[in-house]
């Protein structure tokens, strides 16, 4: 019994050559995507972050700050109030009188505007600002020390008082450095946390997994159990059965996404945006694209092993490429361009725009059109594949 079972299982596995190949291809593909995406981070070259700098001052300290950003190895500076490739930029505004405030010995202030959907890029800018502020503080303390030493030599300042003033200058953050007034493009008080990016990303990924099993695997189960043959022999059109299945899974997907987003709001404080209509529309279109994806993979696979291997490979690849696991700016430019053909990239773009930036239907229309086009194309290809398969029975 042991030998016969072992031989039978190995023989059945070997006959499914595609499934066997995908057992190696799937992990190899995941390794390659993860390695290439984070290669720059681990090798120290780092991703490039675009920053729009509006210099209204143009004087000494402002020029030093601008130079610090231009010399930063991971930052590309765009002069003026700009948007790059249709995406919002982290914007730094240096107000008029910034350098003069510093020259008077006061604490200068500048404004940092961030995009809630690109919080990781903003953190890089904050790091550069913190380093520059520390240098400014050190310069101010050194200047005070030099001035105090000159005064002390004339006998006009007590050494004990000098020491006390210097310690206060070093320890009191209000006496040195620069102030940064930070606000987002949606609300001056809104700060984006890790949950605000993880909840939409993971919700999209598990939605795709749900559609892979709920649509693709259901058809294969009907074929293996003989239920599909009975449906094909019964009066009526088989495609109507498939349409009913897809509609049911779409309703389940809408409920799933709604529950996950509401859970993220209640448990983790995920913002829900300012347009309920836009949020509902985005959820419906994202689910439509996910249902079409599961439908297409189910039509292409001829066994559950192929369905699982092929579907998991594509879902994990799209999740990694499209920004569900890490921000897109960490990826090299060629991977960012490749992400444009994935469902996840446009799903994340639409969800973060509505949830985090508070945008409406008009602002996310392009992402919705891309997702809708993919869904229509996948549905058409899937119906064609099923029709050819069932006609041969």
Contact 359/277 with Cβ under 8 angstroms? Answer: no
Three-state secondary structure call for residue 184: strand
Is 99 part of a structural domain of the chain?
yes
Residues 327 and 380 in one domain: yes
Contact 329/48 with Cβ under 8 angstroms? Answer: yes
**Whether pLDDT at 378 is above 80:** yes
**Whether pLDDT at 239 is above 80:** no
Rounded to 10°, the helix 194-211/304-321 angle is: 160
Can you give the pLDDT at residue 350?
92
Confidence of residue 82 (pLDDT cuts 50, 70, 90): very low
Can you give the pLDDT at residue 199?
87
The number of distinct structural domains making up the chain is: 2
Is 12 part of a structural domain of the chain?
no
Confidence of residue 163 (pLDDT cuts 50, 70, 90): low
Is 225 part of a structural domain of the chain?
yes
Can you give the pLDDT at residue 85?
36
How many alpha carbons fall within 13 Å on the CB side of residue 53? 22
Residues 202 and 342 in one domain: yes
**Whether pLDDT at 87 is above 50:** no
Q: What is the pLDDT of residues 330-372, one digit of tens each?
A: 777 788 888 899 999 999 999 988 988 888 899 899 999 999 9
Can you give the pLDDT at residue 117?
59
What is the torsion angle, in degrees rounded to the nearest 10, for the CA atoms of residue 61, residue 65, residue 70 and residue 72?
140
Is 178 part of a structural domain of the chain?
yes
Percent of the chain with pLDDT over 70: 67
Residue ending a domain, among 161, 184, 207, is 184
Is 265 part of a structural domain of the chain?
yes
């Amino acid at each position: 019994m042991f030998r016969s079972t072992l031989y039978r299982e190995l023989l059945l596995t070997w006959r499914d050559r595609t499934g066997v190949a995908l057992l190696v291809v799937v992990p190899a593909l995941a390794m390659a995507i993860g390695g290439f995406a984070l290669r720059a981070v681990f090798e120290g070259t780092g991703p490039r972050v675009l920053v729009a700098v509006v210099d209204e001052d143009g004087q000494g300290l402002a020029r030093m700050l601008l130079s610090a950003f231009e010399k930063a190895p991971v930052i590309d500076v765009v002069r003026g109030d700009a948007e790059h490739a249709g995406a919002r930029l982290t914007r730094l505004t240096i107000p008029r009188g910034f350098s003069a405030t510093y020259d008077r010995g006061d604490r200068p202030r500048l404004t940092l505007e961030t995009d809630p959907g690109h919080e990781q890029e903003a953190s890089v800018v904050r790091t550069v600002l913190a380093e520059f502020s520390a240098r400014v503080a050190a310069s101010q303390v050194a200047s005070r020390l030099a001035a105090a030493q000159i005064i002390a030599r004339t006998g006009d300042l007590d050494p004990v008082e000098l020491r006390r003033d210097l310690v206060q200058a070093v320890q009191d953050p209000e006496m040195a450095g620069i102030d940064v007034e930070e606000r987002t493009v949606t609300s001056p008080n809104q700060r984006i946390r890790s949950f605000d990016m993880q909840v939409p990303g993971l919700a999209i990924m598990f939605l795709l997994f749900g559609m892979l099993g709920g649509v693709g695997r259901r058809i294969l189960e009907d074929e293996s159990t003989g239920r599909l043959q009975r449906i094909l022999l019964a009066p009526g059109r088989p495609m109507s059965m498939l349409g009913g299945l897809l509609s049911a899974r779409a309703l389940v997907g809408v409920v799933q996404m709604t529950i996950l987003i509401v859970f993220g709001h209640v448990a983790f404080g995920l913002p829900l945006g300012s347009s309920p209509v836009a949020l509902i529309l985005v959820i419906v279109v994202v689910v439509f694209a996910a249902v079409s994806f599961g439908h297409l993979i189910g039509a292409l696979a001829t066994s559950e092993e192929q369905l699982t291997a092929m579907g998991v490979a594509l879902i994990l690849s799209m999740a990694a490429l499209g920004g569900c696991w890490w921000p897109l700016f960490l990826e090299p430019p060629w991977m960012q361009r490749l992400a444009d053909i994935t469902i996840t990239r446009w799903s994340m773009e639409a969800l973060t725009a509505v949830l985090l930036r508070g945008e409406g239907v008009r602002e996310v229309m392009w992402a919705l059109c891309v997702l809708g086009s993919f869904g229509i194309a996948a549905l058409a290809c899937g119906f064609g594949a099923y029709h050819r398969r069932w006609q041969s029975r």
